[in-house]
Amino acid sequence: MSGIWGKNIKLSIFGESHGKAIGIVIDGLPSGIKLDHEYISKEMKRRAPGRSKTATPRKEGDNYEILSGYFNGRTTGTPLSAAIYNTNQRSRDYEATKSIMRPGHADYTGHVRYSGFNDYRGGGHFSGRLTAPLVFAGAIAKQILSNKNIVIGSHIKSIGDIEDRSFDGVNIEASLLKELTGKEFSVIDPEKGKEMKDYILKIKEEKDSVGGVIEAAVVNLPRGIGSPFFDSVESKLSHLLFSIPAVKGVEFGAGFDITKMKGSSSNDELYIRKEEISAYSNNNGGIVGGITNGMPIIFRVAIKPTPSIGKLQRTVDIEKGINTEIEIEGRHDPCIVPRAVPVIEAVCAVALIDLMMEKGGLI
């Protein structure tokens, strides 16, 4: 199982949704970094379940315990490890249906890949619960970037067919990104946010689920970050983004819509502003040739509907070798998108510090 990612910063995640704990080991962090625990806890709470009617009622505080790599308030430079203990599991919810493969989950593929020895409770290691350690790592990475005035923020671009306003590709204020990270339901237009929440609750009543799109942006990132071909900015970001359960698509800048343009309109024409080269547009999302060009990085991530739903679905029983049906019980998110917002920001931050170390270090 590939639980390790990274070149300059290495992440290793461990644990299962209904095991004793989940956690992460971060290798490669420079020594002497002061950690803001209040900020880390705030980021963890943004992802944690049980905070609103639009999320699962499973309550997990996502409190972390640092086990190594941290001494006298600062990182030591040795591997930093942290554990997040699971405190509110209801594993009995999965006993009666352990041989019945839940559609949309990794039950069947995980069973095949690991010869039936995988922990099936709550999705085991394939669960979205494993994104909590990623948020912990991302909170540290965001602190490092913040010290260089690099700001990451995101918002819920859409839920179903309901659309929030898009970021201005050329002029994005860091204050807007910071404001969005402070919102429980991260949208630019509050009215659209209310529509989205009402729609999610409607879907919940129908025992169904819905997905959406998250739009993220990074401002004040230095020019010249990225190492094409295989360590381009898009490559690094996409690798981590697609590692998040439920992510089914990623696009940068104008994304797929750029295919509808001519080169004369898709090209981001350049000019000099205050002795720095800038661009009139940002169809390439701040990245050209896999390298940052000084414009805001903008990307969007497609999140699929939560696969755990109460509606009757067709599936198979692998022990009996028969076709059957299932109505999934338990505590599940009718829409995972709001809780995925801090996860998207977290992996973006980790990818960026890995890329920045390639060019010359962080501190």
Binding site members: 47, 53, 125-127, 289, 304-308, 331
In this structure, how many other beta carbons lie within 10 angstroms of the beta carbon of residue 95?
9
Helix axes 131-146, 337-359, angle to 10 degrees: 50
Q: Which residues are annotated as a binding site for NADP(+)?
A: 47, 53
Residue type, 283: N
Q: Going by DSSP bridges, is the β-strand pair 80-85/21-27 parallel, antiparallel, or unpaired?
A: antiparallel
Residue partners of 193: CB distance under 8 A and separation at least 6: 156, 164, 185, 187
* Residue 189 CB contacts under 8 Å (≥ 6 apart), including other chains: 164, 165
Q: Which single residue is written with the structure tokens 């619960």? A: 129
Residue 95 vs residues 21, 116, 122, 146, 354: alpha-carbon distances, Å: 20, 15, 10, 45, 41
In the annotated binding site for FMN, the residues are 125-127, 289, 304-308, 331
Both tokens of 175, joined, read: 């204050």
* Tokens describing residue 239: 């690798």
Q: Are 80 and 143 in contact (CB under 8 A)?
A: no
Task: Kindly tell me the sign of the dihedral angle through the C-alpha atoms of 185, 191, 192, 195.
Answer: positive
- Name the token pair of 272: 């000099």
